[in-house]
Amino acid sequence: MPIRDINHFFVRAKDLEATRAFYQEVLGFEIMPRPDFPFPGYWMGAGGSIQVHMGPSDIPNRSDYYLGTPPDSADDQSGVIDHIAFLAEDPAEFVARFKARGVSFKPRYLPEAKLYQLFLRDPNGVMIELNFANVADPGAWEGGEDYSKMARVS
């Protein structure tokens, strides 16, 4: 009975509409059908698969709706989760989209795996990682930091 895939993650949004716009306009997710929950929010996905759920952070009784949210929960960053990663295609399109919208990002590259990555934060401070496989030369977009040359920890 192995786990096969991640179904979704939930973002408690400081600004629900800014968060929706980021995932829709910057990352290219589409709004998906969502049940009539007792609080506002969105389900967003790509290719027909739901991947991101979101709801407002500052609602009354939020710990009743969001079971991972005790009353003293932070409203920014990612808590003990460092980042959320997605597989993506066409890094040049993402780099151009980010630049056109003034979205800050950090590129990284792991040459031995031909793995190119873009890191950026959503409006709530959640770190998003986009992974692009089989990239032989990322220099055309934004080469980025080379993992193979980073200081090693023993």
**What pLDDT digit, counting tens, does each position of 39-92 carry?**
999 999 998 888 899 999 888 887 777 777 777 777 777 766 778 999 999 999
Can you give the residue range of the structural domain that contains 28?
Answer: 1-72
CATH of the domain at 24: 3.10.180.10
Predicted model pTM: 0.85
Confidence of residue 133 (pLDDT cuts 50, 70, 90): very high
The residue out of 72, 97, 112 marking a domain boundary is 72
Does 107 lie in the same domain as 144?
yes
Does 54 lie in the same domain as 87?
no
Question: Could you tell me what percent of the chain has a pLDDT over 90?
Answer: 50
CB-CB contact of 40 with 56 (8 Å) = yes
Does 68 lie in the same domain as 97?
no
How many folded domains does the chain comprise? 2
Higher-pLDDT residue of 140 and 81 is 81
* Beta strands at 106-110 and 145-146: parallel, antiparallel or unpaired: parallel
Does 35 lie in the same domain as 65?
yes
φ, ψ for residue 149, nearest 5 deg: -105, 5
**pLDDT per position as a tens digit, 2-28:** 877 778 888 989 999 999 999 999 999
* Encoded tokens for 26: 């910057």
- Cα gap 127→1, rounded to integer Å: 30
φ, ψ for residue 14, nearest 5 deg: -65, -40
Does 57 lie in the same domain as 21?
yes
**Does residue 140 register a pLDDT over 70?**
no
Does 40 lie in the same domain as 63?
yes
Angular region, 93: left φ>0, alpha ψ -120 to 50, beta rest? alpha
